[in-house]
DNA sequence: TTGAAAGCGCTAACAA
DNA sequence: TTGTTAGCGCTTTCAA
């Protein structure tokens, strides 16, 4: 039973062909005569032969595997995107190695080092903000790479994402248009995260376009977790000088914020409007349902997979530069100074 | 710059030692004299040498990578578990390849075939219910494996999980103790999923222990999604003959069910009590907060990682057989025939 | 403790 | 189209 795994040589011998022909039958079936192919296939079946990936990788210098490094795998936004990435990659014949650095930039370089050592054909990263060591490794080993969740004119060919700046700007404008002037922001943690900085910048731009300030003490940084949202509300409650709207960087934070409001007896949206971003499935399930911006989560995974494979296989990539986002209006954001029933009437028109 | 990646031979030459010594310096540093080691290390640093994983794998027959096949990567329960699995595996020096079969048993065998071909040192699967082809492959290639989210006396050494039967039984008992007699179940989809079947069995056992039936038309199978929970409520609403409690197989379904109830004007828990399972973070954020069973999600990932590595490295695994779950009582389950304020008073005692 | 050398199983260039 | 053969870069006996 455990008679040592069969090798290609065994297959060739049994099929009565050369090693080369056997190899070709598997890798380029149309470059061998059909009867050769058939004999090899029969031998393969008979021996229950399976390729040895390591040998193949060593000889061909291609591992058929991609590594993806995420901040974390359990944020739903990434989980959904990874699912699409993985499915697409497998369909294209690639394996996916995943790793996460927990928002610690130095860890990312360590991970990448080990990934390089192990050998992969390409890497998928998140965003543009990486330690120099990361880019150094990429360059040194000529690793094809894709920056997902990012747009960057200088590296358009390797980016798959949307403009956080634009999304933040539009959301903030919407909030202002609803009559809010006292607006707080819970954007995430800005250090080593250009997406968070873009959010702050976009929000600030929108507010100042309407002559409103974005107060520094109302920019509450915190992690992308339910807890992060809770804490933001807690912090804003420290004084009586409170905002009427809280723009959160992610739906997760927004849901956490809503939970904290409920626990504190703050009515949403009556006392405080709250908005999110991402439009995760949960956004339309919480009470009140979340006003948010819909982002193409799965699409990013799918396109990142295609893009990295195109890059590896030397195909030109004809995908559009930046993906679109759309505002989704639900009940968690409310026109200022208006009662609930008025808002509902408005919505019915 | 792109002067061809350095090999161990280059290192050996530069260090003035043999290939063998260079190799040993990297893999078994205490089997070489310290000055040899030092010279090799210097050469490694100078050349910026990194191992070639494929060559190493080919020669040593160890890939230092584990593959994990999940039903899906974007269910929060799996995402959290994968995060822990991945972190622990990396800390132990292993890479993680992930794949998902979307609850299609045949796909799992295909994935595994490709994984075997590629070469991994071990695999992590979910549950015990797998196509014969999966176990055949495992056996044929002598692949060390761990069944996560499972307990099975016959394979205790490869299982890391808790008893779904027991958990379901205790939850159902709790519901009965709250005075419910009309109890529906939304357990997931039973085909190819022993965990779902255990839930049904456990629930039925608990009900019949109290002389109650589990009506077949109140076992509403559906996917582990928000939508699955919504649909369950929708289906139960088709007639006026309705349950007073709905036990969901996962918190995700429970949250979906609560959302559907809200949309239909069904008050939870007043008109319908709803319980979940898993105790995901969200469970305590929704309104009403979810009564559920807490399961050791991260622990399963962490222990699965340790277990598979122990198995691979021939260490004996001294972990406890089954992990524990605990009931978490919150507001979504309510004593029958009691008003909301009474329940709250009860809770205060 | 070290060096020499034989593979590991496959691909790809070359010749036939 | 096929066979031959030289590696791919490392690990691991085996002797020294």
The domain ranges of chain A are 8-51, 63-163+296-325, 164-295+328-334
Q: Which helix (H) or strand (E) holds B306?
A: helix B297-312
Per-residue pLDDT at A347: 47
Contact, B345 CB vs strand D, < 7 Å? no
Domain A63-163+296-325: assigned CATH number:
3.40.50.2300
- The span from the first CA to the last CA of chain A, in angstroms, equals 74
Say how far apart CA A292 and CA A224 lie, in whole Å.
15
Say how far apart CA B70 and CA B115 lie, in whole Å.
13
Which residue has its C-alpha nearest to nucleotide D6's C1'?
A59
Cβ-based contacts of A50 with chain B (< 8 Å): 113, 116-117
Residues with CB under 7 A from strand C: A 5, 7-9, 19-20, 23, 26-27, 49, 51-52, 55-56, 58-60; B 17-21, 24, 31-33, 35-36, 55, 58-59
* pLDDT tens-digit readout, A119-161: 999 999 999 999 999 999 999 888 999 999 999 999 999 999 9
Contact by Cβ (8 Å): B170, B105? no
pTM of the entire structure? 0.92
- Looking at every residue in chain B, the average pLDDT score rounds to 93
Say how far apart CA B312 and CA A262 lie, in whole Å.
49
Per-residue pLDDT at A317: 74
Q: Which of A131-135, A334-338, A341-345 is modeled with the greatest confidence?
A: A131-135
Rg over alpha carbons for chain A, rounded to the nearest Å, is: 26
Confidence of residue B317 (pLDDT cuts 50, 70, 90): confident
Alpha carbon of B48: minimum distance to chain A alpha carbons (Å): 10
Confidence of residue A213 (pLDDT cuts 50, 70, 90): very high
Test B141 with A5 for CB contact under 8 angstroms: yes
Which residue has its C-alpha nearest to nucleotide C2's C1'?
B21
Write out which nucleotides of chain D lie closer than 7 A to a protein Cβ: 1-13
Q: What number is the average pLDDT over the span A317-322?
A: 72
Contact by Cβ (8 Å): A192, A221? no
Give the residue on A whose Cα is nearest the Cα of B252: A282
Tell me the residue length of chain B. 349
Q: Which helix (H) or strand (E) holds B186?
A: strand B183-186
Q: In terms of DSSP bridges, do strands A95-100 and A65-70 run parallel, antiparallel, or are they unpaired? A: parallel
Say how far apart CA A11 and CA A41 lie, in whole Å.
9
pLDDT tops 80 at residue B139: yes
Q: Per the CATH hierarchy, to which homologous superfamily does domain B164-295+328-334 belong?
A: Response regulator (3.40.50.2300)
| A63-163+296-325 and A164-295+328-334 have identical folds | yes
Cβ-based contacts of A114 with chain B (< 8 Å): 90, 95
Tokens of B266: 């069904």
Say how far apart CA A124 and CA A147 lie, in whole Å.
6
Whole-number percent of chain B with pLDDT over 70: 94
Question: From its phi and psi, is residue B198 left (phi > 0), alpha (psi between -120 and 50) or beta?
Answer: alpha
Contact by Cβ (8 Å): B255, B77? no
Say how far apart CA A68 and CA A61 lie, in whole Å.
19
DSSP state of B264: H
Least confident stretch, A60-74, A104-118, B330-344:
B330-344
Say how far apart CA B259 and CA A58 lie, in whole Å.
53
Q: Give the three-class secondary structure for B184.
A: strand
SS (H, E, C) chain A: CCCCCCCHHHHHHHHCCCHHHHHHHHHCHHHCCHHHHHHHHHHHHHHCCCCCHHHHHHHHCCCCEEEEEECCCCCHHHHHHHHHHHHHHHHCCCEEEEEECCCCHHHHHHHHHHHHHHCCCEEEEECCCCCHHHHHHHHHCCCCEEEECCCCHHHHHHEEEECHHHHHHHHHHHHHHCCCCCEEEECCCCCCCHHHHHHHHHHHHHHHHCCCCCCHHHECCCCCCHHHHHHHHHHHCCCCCCCCEEEECCHHHHHHHHHHHHHHCCCCCCCCEEECCECCHHHHCCCCCCEEEECCHHHHHHHHHHHHHHHHCCCCCCCCCEECCEEECCCCCCCCCCCHHHHHHHHHC
Which residues of A, range 56-75, sit inside 8 Å of B by Cβ? 57-58, 63-65, 72-74
Q: In terms of DSSP bridges, do strands A292-294 and A326-328 run parallel, antiparallel, or are they unpaired? A: antiparallel
Determine contact: A298 vs chain B, CB below 8 A: no
Determine contact: A119 vs chain B, CB below 8 A: yes
Contact, A63 CB vs strand D, < 7 Å? no
Sheet harboring B245-248: ordered strands across?
B183-186, B245-248, B273-275
Tokens of B344: 């709250």
* pLDDT tens-digit readout, B45-79: 999 899 999 999 999 999 999 999 999 999 999 99
Per-residue pLDDT at B5: 82
- The DSSP string of B199-254 is HHHHHHHHHHHTT----GGGB----SSHHHHHHHHHHHTTSS---SEEEESSHHHH
Question: From its phi and psi, is residue B247 left (phi > 0), alpha (psi between -120 and 50) or beta?
Answer: beta
- Looking at every residue in chain A, the average pLDDT score rounds to 93
CA nearest A194: which of A138, A130, A289?
A130
Q: What number is the average pLDDT over the span B269-293?
A: 96
Task: Rounding to the nearest 10 degrees, give the CA dihedral for residues A177, A179, A185, A187.
Answer: -20
Test A100 with B86 for CB contact under 8 angstroms: yes
Roughly what angle, to the nearest 10 degrees, separates helices A164-177 and A194-209? 40
Test A97 with B51 for CB contact under 8 angstroms: no
CA of A113 vs C1' of C11, distance in Å? 27
Cβ-based contacts of B95 with chain A (< 8 Å): 97, 99, 114-115, 118
**CA angle in degrees (0–180, nearest 5) for A41-A47-A53:** 80
Q: The tokens 């030459």 sit on which residue?
A: B13
CA nearest B258: which of A286, A97, A262?
A286
CA of B104 vs C1' of D9, distance in Å? 40
Contact by Cβ (8 Å): B98, B79? no
CA nearest A85: which of A66, A59, A101?
A66
Per-residue pLDDT at B3: 54
Contact by Cβ (8 Å): B74, A76? yes
CA of A20 vs C1' of C15, distance in Å? 13
Whole-number percent of chain A with pLDDT over 70: 94
Say how far apart CA A306 and CA A227 lie, in whole Å.
35
CA nearest B233: which of B197, B194, B203, B272?
B272
Say how far apart CA B110 and CA B133 lie, in whole Å.
9
pLDDT tops 50 at residue A348: no
Distances (CA, A) of A169 to A96, A248, A289, A327, B283: 35, 13, 21, 11, 32
A/B interface, count of CB pairs below 8 Å: 141
Say how far apart CA A44 and CA B278 lie, in whole Å.
45
CA nearest A282: which of B99, B225, B304?
B225
Rg over alpha carbons for chain B, rounded to the nearest Å, is: 26
Per-residue pLDDT at B338: 53
Contact by Cβ (8 Å): A252, A275? no
pLDDT tops 80 at residue A48: yes
Cβ-based contacts of B7 with chain A (< 8 Å): none
pLDDT tops 50 at residue B349: no
Say how far apart CA A247 and CA A123 lie, in whole Å.
33
Q: Which residues contact A92 (CB under 8 A, 6 or more apart)?
A: A305, A306, A309
Write out which nucleotides of chain C lie closer than 7 A to a protein Cβ: 1-13
Q: Give the three-class secondary structure for B43.
A: helix
pLDDT tops 50 at residue A2: no
């Amino acid at each position: 039973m455990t008679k040592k795994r069969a090798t290609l040589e065994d297959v060739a011998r049994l099929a009565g062909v050369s090693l080369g022909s056997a190899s070709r039958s598997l890798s380029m079936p149309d470059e061998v005569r059909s009867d050769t192919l058939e004999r090899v296939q029969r031998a393969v079946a008979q021996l229950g032969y399976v390729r040895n990936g390591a040998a193949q990788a060593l000889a061909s210098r291609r591992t058929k595997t991609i590594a993806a490094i995420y901040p974390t795998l359990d944020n739903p936004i990434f989980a959904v995107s990874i699912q699409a990435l993985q499915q697409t990659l497998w369909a294209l014949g690639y394996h996916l190695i995943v790793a996460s650095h927990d928002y610690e930039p130095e860890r990312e370089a360590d991970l990448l080092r080990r990934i390089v050592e192990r050998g992969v054909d390409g890497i998928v990263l998140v965003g543009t903000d990486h330690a120099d060591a990361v880019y150094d490794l990429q360059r040194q080993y000529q690793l094809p790479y894709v920056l997902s969740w990012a747009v960057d004119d200088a590296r358009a060919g390797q980016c798959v994402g949307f403009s956080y700046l634009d999304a933040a700007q539009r959301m903030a404008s919407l909030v202002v248009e609803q009559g809010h002037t006292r607006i707080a922001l819970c954007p995430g943690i800005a250090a080593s995260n250009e997406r968070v900085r873009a959010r702050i910048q976009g929000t600030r731009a929108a507010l100042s376009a309407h002559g409103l300030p974005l107060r520094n003490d109302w920019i509450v940084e915190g992690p992308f977790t339910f807890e992060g949202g809770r804490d933001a509300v807690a912090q804003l409650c420290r004084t009586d000088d409170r905002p009427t709207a809280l723009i959160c960087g992610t739906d997760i934070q927004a849901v956490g914020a809503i939970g904290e409001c409920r626990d504190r007896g703050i009515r949403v949206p009556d006392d405080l409007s709250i908005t999110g971003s991402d439009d995760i499935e949960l956004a339309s399930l919480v009470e009140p349902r979340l006003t948010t911006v819909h982002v193409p989560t799965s699409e990013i995974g799918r396109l990142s997979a295609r893009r990295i494979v195109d890059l590896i296989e030397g195909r030109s990539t004809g995908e559009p530069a930046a993906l679109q986002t759309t505002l989704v209006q639900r009940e968690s954001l409310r026109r200022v100074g208006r009662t609930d029933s008025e808002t509902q009437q408005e919505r019915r028109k």
